[in-house]
Amino acid sequence: MTTPSTERGRTAAHVDLPTKYQPADVEGRLYERWVSAGYFAADPARYPDRPAYSIVIPPPNVTGSLHMGHALDHSIQDALVRRRRMQGYETVWVPGMDHAGIATQNVVERELAKEGKSRHDLGREAFVERVWAWKAESGGRILGQMRRLGDSVDWGREAFTMDEARARAVRTIFKRLFDDGLIYRAERIINWCPRCLTALSDIEVEHAEREGELVSIRYGSGEDEIVVATTRAETMLGDTAVAVHPDDERYRHMVGREIELPLTGRRIPVVADEHVDPEFGTGAVKVTPAHDPNDFEIGRRHDLPSLTIMDERGVITAHGPFEGLDRFEARPAVVAALRQQGRIVKEVRPYVHSVGHCQRCSTVVEPRVSLQWFVKVAPLAKAAGDAVREGRVKIHPPEMAARYFEWVDNMHDWCISRQLWWGHRIPVWYGPDGQTMCPGPDEEPPAGWTQDTDVLDTWFSSALWPFSTFGWPERTPDLERFYPTSVLVTGYDILFFWVARMMMFGLYAMDGVEPFKVIALHGMVRDQHGKKMSKSFGNVVDPLDWIDRYGADATRFTLLRGANPGGDVPVADEWAQGSRNFCNKLWNATRFALMNGAHVRGELPSEGLTTVDRWVLSRLQKVIAEVDGHLESFEFAKACETLYHFAWDEVCDWYVELSKVQLDDPATAESTRRVLGEVLDNLLRLLHPVVPFVTEELWTSLTGRETIVRAEWPQPDRARRDEDAEALVASLQRLVTEVRRFRADQGLKPGQRVAAALEWGESPLAAHEPGVRMLLRLDAPGEGFSATASLPVEGVTVRLDTHGAIDVAAERKRLEKDLANARKEAEQARRKLGNESFVAKAPEAVVAKTRDRLSQAEAEIARLEAQLAALPAA
C-alpha cells in the first residue's frame, strides 16, 4: 500500500488542537483557504494523462436559498468530486444558477408593487434592467450558502443561464432546431396561469388533492338524452361534442347524431372515441377541446371546433348571462341555471380530485388553447431513450429506468414559449408583410422587423447546461476534456423534466454524444416519520440552522448516512446531534493520539506488531475496500455506516483504549504510535469526502502536510490482512462485553473498580490481561479477596469480589422479579406450542415467532438464575 509516509515534504506532527471542536472556528477559515489555494480549480491542459471527472451542478434558482433538498444533492456531489480528486482525477465541478423566469419576474414585480408600479409602467427594457439590478444586489444568495456547506466547486467557472455565453448557446441551438424543422409555432392546448399570464411547463404545475363538486348533467332529451358528469360545469359553455366508446352498446345508436347542449342553444355531435372509459361514470364524456388536454386530442381526431370561452385571466367571454364572471363565480351560476331547467340529474356531491396549481403563485392552472412555440420531440426523445437502452447512459438505481422510459417514450411536443419579459427572448423576427426568420447568433435581422415578444421556457436554457458550461457552441479545450460529464446527480422528481431534456439536447447538439455517463438519482428529504417537509406541516428543517448549531460536517453526515440510491432520506434533529457527537469523537481520538506522540513518519513496521496492532490494521484494509465499493455504487448510507462503526466502535472504543496499555510499555510504545497514526491517517482520508472540515483540521495536524483535499485516496493492502489477529481480538471483545454486561446486571457502575482474579487456562488472551483489566476496571486480588461471583467466558474464568459494591438484597429482589416475568413468558409460549390446534392452524410465521419467544425466555431464565446464584450470601 502506498502510504503518506512515502511522500515528500513531511514534517513532524504537532499538537495544536483546542480541547473542544468548534465548527464555527474552523469551517469558514478552511473554506477560504481552499479556494484561495486553488485546490478546486480545474485545468483541461494540466496532467493530460490523468482521467477526467466532471459534474455540473443542477443550477439552483437565482431567487433560491439552500434547503434540505439542495443540501442532500450538493453533499452527494461533493463527496463524489472530493473522492475522485484524491484518486488523482482531473476533476471539475461547475457551479452556477438558473435565471428562473417566472419566479424571478414575480419577485421583482412584487417589489414594484410596493412602489405602486407594475412592469408595464416601466416598459420591457427598463423592467429587464431592473431585474438584472436585483440579481446583482439580492440574487444568488444560495452561492454563499454553498460555501458554508463546503461545496468544492470551481468558482472560476461560475455560470448563469442568462449570461452572454449561455445566451449564445441558446440562440445557436434554437437556430439549428428551427432550421431542422424541430421547432414550430402552433395553436395547441397548454397549461396556463391566469395570474402570471403565461404558459407553464409540466414541472411548473403542482398537483394537489382538492375537494370539488361532481355535477351530473342531462344533455339532449328523450331518445337523444345523455348524462355526463363534470367538476368544471362552467366549461360546458365551450363543449363541441359528447364522446362515447365505440364498443359501448348503450350509445351505439347515437353516434353521429346531434344533441342539444343546455344553456347555449347549440346542437353538438356524439362521437365515438377509444379514449373514453365505458366503465367510468355513465360512459359518456363532454368534450371541450379548448379547455382540456384530453378533449383537445379528441377534438383533433374528430375535427371538432375549439371554442375558447374564457380569457387569459379566467374570465368568461362566452355571450350570455355568465359573460364577465370569473371562472369560479361562473361555476355555481351555471349549476344553478341548469338546475332551474331541470338538467341536474343528481344533486351536486363532493368529489376529491387532483387539481393543478401554478408552482410560483399557487393559482389553479387553466388548460387553454394558445398560439405558442413548440419543440417537436419525437426524434429527440427516441435518441434519449436509445442512449439508456443501449447502455451508453446508466441510470442508478437501475429500477428507475422504467420511469425514465415511461416519460421519453410518451413525450408530447414541448411548449417552450412563455409570456414573460425575463428570460431568453425567442430569436424569431417578423417582417412587415408577415415574413418570419430566425437569424443565427452572429446575424442581424433586417431593419424594421420586430422580434417575437415571448421568452423561452427556463428549462430550454438549462437543458444546455452540461455542454454550454464548457463553452459550446465553440469546440473549447474544456468541452473536449470534460464532456460528456461523468455523472449527473439529481432528485428523481425531475428525472422527466430536466434530465430527459438535457439528454435530448445533448445528443442533438453534440453529434450523438450523451451529456453524462451516469444518472445518479436520490430521493427527497423527509422528516423522521417519512412525511414530506412542508411549512403547513411545521416540519421543515433549515440546513443553515443545522450548520449554525451542529456544523456543516454534521449536517452532511446526517444526510449522507440516510442516502440510499433512489430512496427518500428521513432526517431528525437528534440525528444531527449524533453526527456532531461523531465529529467530536474523531476530534478527541485524534487529539489523544497527538498528545501521545502518534505520527506517520517512516515506514509502517511489518514485524514486531502486537496482536491488537495487527487486528486494527487488518480491519482497516477491509473497511477501505468496503467503503470503496459502496461509493462506486452510490451507496452513501452504507459507506457512512461502515465508517461510523469502524471509527467509533473499533478505533475509538477498542483500539484507542487498548493502545493506552501499549503506550505505557516501552517495548510497544513506538510501534503503537506509528500504527495509531497510520489508522487515523487512513480513516480521516476515507471520511474527508463526507466530513471535509473536521478531517482537514485533524489530518493536517496529524501529518504536518498542507491539505487533505489533494491527499492520496487510501488503497487496501492485502498483505496487512490478518484473520488470526481479527479472530483473537473478536474473542477478547466478547470476553470484555460479557463481563461488562454481567457487571451491569449486578448493578455495578461502569467506572466502579472491583477486585477480580482471572484464570486464563490455556487461553491466548492471557497475554492481554493488562488491557482486559483496564477495560473492565478490575483490580488485582488483594489481601482478604473473596470471590462472590464466577463467570466463565471464552475459556477464561473471571472471579469477582463484589463485597460492599452492590446492595445484595435490592439486587436479589430485582432479579427475582425479572425471573418471575421470564418464567411467565416461557410458560405462555409453552402452552401455545403444546396446543396442537394452534400449531396446525396458525400461520407459520406466528408459530415461528412463538418458538422464538420461548427460546429467548429460556435464555433469559438461564441468565437470571446464573446471576442470582452468583450473588453473595445476604
- What's the alpha-carbon Rg for the chain, to the nearest Å? 36
Write the burial class of residue 315 (CB in 10 Å: 0-12 exposed, 13-18 middle, 19+ buried): middle
Spatial CA neighbour of 589 closest among 683, 726, 471, 669: 683
Q: What is the pLDDT of residue 6?
A: 33
Cell of 304: 371538432
Helix count and strand count (H, E) for the chain: 28, 29
Lowest mean pLDDT among 376-380, 672-676, 799-803: 799-803
What's residue 346's pLDDT? 76
User: Which of 5-19, 528-542, 593-607: highest mean pLDDT?
Assistant: 593-607
Tell me the pTM.
Answer: 0.85
Read off φ and ψ for residue 438, nearest 5 degrees: -125, 95
d(CA 271, CA 289): 13
- Cβ atoms within 10 Å, residue 417: 24
The DSSP bridge pattern shows strands 516-522 and 394-396 to be: parallel
Q: Give CA–CA dist 796/819, Å, rounded.
A: 27
C-alpha cell at 229: 358528469
pLDDT in tens, 103-143: 999 999 999 999 999 999 999 999 999 999 999 999 989 99
- Cα end-to-end span (Å), the chain: 60
**C-alpha grid cell, residue 482:** 470534460
Phi/psi for 777 (5° steps) reads 55, 50
- Which are the contacts of 182, defined by CB distance < 8 A and separation ≥ 6? 375, 376, 379, 380
Q: Position of cell 458550461?
A: 469
Is 346 annotated in a binding site? The answer is no
**Alpha-carbon gap, residue 459 to 843, rounded angstroms:** 54
**pLDDT tens readout for residues 642-666:** 999 999 999 999 999 999 999 999 9
Contacting residues for 797 by C-beta, under 8 A, at least 6 apart:
758, 759, 761, 790, 791
Please write the tens of the pLDDT for every residue from 31-81.
999 999 999 999 999 899 999 999 999 999 999 999 999 999 999 999 999
The backbone torsions φ and ψ at residue 183, rounded to the nearest 5 degrees and listed phi first, read: -125, 135
CA 507 to chain centroid: 26
The pLDDT value recorded for residue 347 is 64
* Of 343, 142, 199, the residue nearest 259 (C-alpha): 343
With 80 as the cut, is the pLDDT of residue 412 above it?
yes
Q: What is the distance, to the nearest Å, from the Cα of residue 687 to the centroid of all Cα atoms in its chain?
A: 20
Distance CA 34, CA 29 (A): 9
C-alpha cell at 450: 420586430
From residue 666, alpha-carbon distances to 148, 673, 819 in Å are 45, 11, 49
Q: What is the β-pairing status of strands 344-358 and 198-200?
A: unpaired
- Amino acid 802: pLDDT: 83
Beta pairing partners, 364: 357
CB–CB of 488/455 below 8 Å? no
Pick from 195-199, 423-427, 683-687: least confident: 195-199
Mean pLDDT taken over the chain: 92
d(CA 85, CA 50): 11
292-297 LR contacts (CB < 8 Å, sep 24+): 292/189, 292/235, 292/367, 293/189, 293/367, 296/188, 296/189, 296/367, 296/369
Q: What is the pLDDT of residues 754-764, one digit of tens each?
A: 999 999 999 99
The listed CATH number (3.30.930.10, 1.10.8.80, 1.10.730.10, 3.40.50.150) that belongs to domain 572-721: 1.10.730.10
Predicted local distance difference test score (pLDDT) of residue 209: 82
Domain with residues 198-366, CATH architecture: Alpha-Beta Complex (3.90)
Any bridge partners for residue 372, and if so which? 186
* Grid cell 477486585 in the structure block, residue: 755
Domain boundaries, the chain: 198-366, 572-721, 729-801, 808-870
DSSP state of 316: B
- Looking only at the bridges linking them, the beta strands covering 789-793 and 796-801 are antiparallel
The answer to whether the Cα torsion of 664, 669, 672, 676 is positive or negative is positive
- Ranked by mean pLDDT, the top range of 183-197, 372-386, 854-868 is 372-386
For residue 484, the model assigns a pLDDT of 98
Domain made up of 808-870: CATH architecture: Orthogonal Bundle (1.10)
Give Cα separations from 429 to 295, 443, 445, 450, 453 (angstroms): 33, 12, 7, 5, 10
The stretch 282-297 carries a mean pLDDT of 93
Contact 779, 800 (CB under 8 A): no
